[in-house]
Structure 1
Amino acid sequence: MDDYPLLNLFWTMLWFFLWIMWLFLLFKVIGDIFRSHDISGWGKAGWLILALLLPYLGVLIYVIVRGRSMGERDIKQAEAQQAAFKEYVRKAAAPDGEGAPASSSVDELSKLADLKAKGVLSDEEFQQAKAKFLA
């Protein structure tokens, strides 16, 4: 145990975690390069070559040059995902017509018959409501 002191272990762990953080940043930059619509194909190829051939310097240059637009694209994508999720929830929770299955006419007529039997609806109101569901 004496041949690898505790301080060296801490330095090794620090360098390992910095390397892992850099890998995450590298994948984030590569993803952003392909997601960006304002760069041409040749521009994407150039940034990719720079990020892969000069890994640390290329990623650092990309973050310095395009960091602001990278953040804006992340925000735009998060907002689009949130809007899509809200739309899905709205459609799934809608009672009729907007995506959730509508309850059948038989169920509705059964409810109307119960209301009529309890005296809540008159015969005329029952017939009008029944005509709406059957139409």
Structure 2
Amino acid sequence: MWDSFWDFLWYTIVIFAFVAYLMILFHVIVDLFRDESSSGWVKAAWILFLVFIPYIALFVYLIARGSGMVQRSVAAHEAAKQQTDSYIRRAAGTSAADQISTAKGLLDEGVIDRAEFEQLKSAAMSS
């Protein structure tokens, strides 16, 4: 298949460059659709340029809008972190009284015994 080591090395470099290009292209496309300030026509034009003159359009996009890419990426990460934190707060937001009343209901139903109830009660009081 390969005639020499140099052919293998050349194919490896070409494949690496192609994969790097695809990663940058996907980053640009995600950033393009994440940008709320651009209209649909502008986004469509960028996509057409990326399809028909890919390397030039990619470099122009990175030069012209590279700093905005960073800002939009940071904003998206902060929004995702805030959503995660609010979800965690809601999930862990049950008060000690709610936890104790739930444990009391389990005790009354016979699901847990008195020792388990006391253990759940002390855990709820300590948190």
Indicate the TM-score class for this superposition, using the shorter chain for normalisation.
0.7 to 0.9
What's the offset of the Cα at 1:106? Answer: 7.4
Q: 1:35-69 CA distances to partner (integer Å, 9 max, x unpaired)?
A: 11111121111111111110111111111111110
- Let me know the Cα RMSD of the aligned residues: 2.6
| 1:63 match | 62
Distance 1:8 1:38 in 2: 46
Which of the two has greater helix per residue?
Answer: 2
Query: Structure 1 counterpart of 2:40, which letter?
Result: G
**Shift of residue 96, structure 1, vs aligned partner:** 2.4
CA shift in 2, pair 1:105/1:60, >3 Å: closer
Pick the structure with greater CA Rg.
1
Equivalent residue, structure 2, for 1:29: 28
Identity of aligned residues (%): 30
Task: Write out per-residue CA displacement over residues 45-104 of structure 1, whole angstroms, 9 at most, x where no aligned residue.
Answer: 11111111101111111111111101110000001111111111112122329xxxx332
Instruction: Report how many aligned residue pairs link the two structures.
Output: 106
Asked whether 1:107 is paired with 2:104, we answer: yes
Structure 1: tracts of 5 or more residues without a match = 115-135
| Shift, 1:4, TM fit | 1.4
Unaligned runs of 5+ in 2: 108-113, 115-127
TM-score (norm 1): 0.69
**When the two structures are superposed, what TM-score results if normalisation uses the length of structure 2?**
0.73
**Greater relative CO, 1 or 2 (CA 8 Å, sep 6+):** 2
Whole-Å separation in 1 of the counterparts to 2:51 and 2:95: 53
Q: CA deviation at 1:105?
A: 6.8
* 2:95 aligned counterpart, secondary structure: coil
